[in-house]
Structure 1
Amino acid sequence: MSIVADADTFRQILGHYPTGVCAITATQTDGTPAAMIVGSFTSVSLDPPLVAFFPDKASSSWPKIEACDGFCVNVLADDQEGLCRTLASKDPAKFDGVPHHLSARGAPILDGALAWIDCSFHAIHEAGDHYIAIGEVHALDIHHPGAPLLFHKGRYGKVSPLL
């Protein structure tokens, strides 16, 4: 028997699947950094190397990033929950004081992120109340070893060490 779920039930059930947390960063034409937090990020293709994330159409940060030449995916570490909450805020100065440096293409790479992936936009597709933003990867690296920040059942969490 299948159930057609309302939005709250859909979110609750899908919340049982843990996701990593990434900060999508970009530099606007005036030089101001922009950022948004996503829990929906994935690899798409090896040849050519493509990745994707899924911004909400209602996001106030997405139009700022979409207007840029490209973006950087920053895989957040398990000790970066505070930074995650800061960058998820609607504060126009949310990037002030955030330690970072720029990629060769000019997108912010967050200090302390586990890894970064510098991309140009390959395609953007509508998908219900979200977009599918596909990026072509130009450079990527592990910033430092560690464990990722996770989101599960409405809360941030960490990977439990293996015994």
Structure 2
Amino acid sequence: MNAIHSESLQHDLVDAQDCDPRELRNLLGKFATGVTVITTRAADGRNVGMTANSFSSVSLDPPLVLWSISRNAPSLTDYLACGHFAINILGADQHDISGHFARPAPDKFSGVAFREGEAGVPLLDGVIATLVCRNVTQYEGGDHLIFLGQIEQYRHGAGEPLVFHCGQYRVAAEHPGLNR
């Protein structure tokens, strides 16, 4: 570890059992993530969507991904009942879409450009990538439920990702130390 990083680290480890939940949230926010909007169609035909940065690849064979949702999320039962969901990966200029889907609203799709995919789930227009997944299973994850999905269809294009780090939207940049 170089001197710049070692100076900024605390020297003593903190017992996670005794920490303030806000401090733990700040700690976990040190890990930069991409930003997605997870969409599905509810059993009653409503389009459902939520912002999530808890997305990760799991396996290439078979192609599996995961994401998680709070057990207190109003749309949890819709995602539990769905056969498919889509993961819409947002571009650097789409922080407004992230904020839109992060807030409660009677119709989160009002004013948002999207189309219906073959699996019946809404696919957001203009995102840098979309994965349509079969809802395979869920796993216990404390105050969250972890969804495992198998990718059935996908599309991707050019563009830089929207990044979330330390509680703020960021943009990715080429590392200045790379030799090109």
CA distance in 2, matches of 1:124, 1:87: 22
The superposition leaves residues 110-156 of structure 1 with CA deviations (integer Å, 9 ceiling, x where unpaired) of 001100000111110111111110001111110x3101111111111
CA contact (8 A) 1:18 1:150 kept: yes
Alpha-carbon distance, 1:97 to partner: 2.0
Residue 69 of structure 2 aligns to a residue in which SS? Answer: coil
- Higher mean alpha-carbon deviation, 62-71 vs 82-91, is at 62-71
Across the aligned residues of Structure 1 and Structure 2, the Cα RMSD in angstroms comes to 1.3
Which structure has the highest helix share of the two? Answer: 2
Residue 97 of structure 1 aligns to a residue in which SS? Answer: coil
- TM-score, with length taken from structure 2: 0.85
The equivalences for 1:1-163 within 5 A come to 1-4=12-15, 5-142=19-156, 144-161=157-174
CA contact (8 A) 2:26 2:166 kept: yes
- TM-score, with length taken from structure 1: 0.93
Identity across matched positions, percent: 35
How many pairs are equivalent? Answer: 162
CA distance in 2, matches of 1:134, 1:31: 23
Give the structure with higher Rg (CA): 2
Unaligned stretches of 5+ residues in structure 1: none
CA contact (8 A) 1:35 1:65 kept: no
CA contact (8 A) 1:36 1:62 kept: no
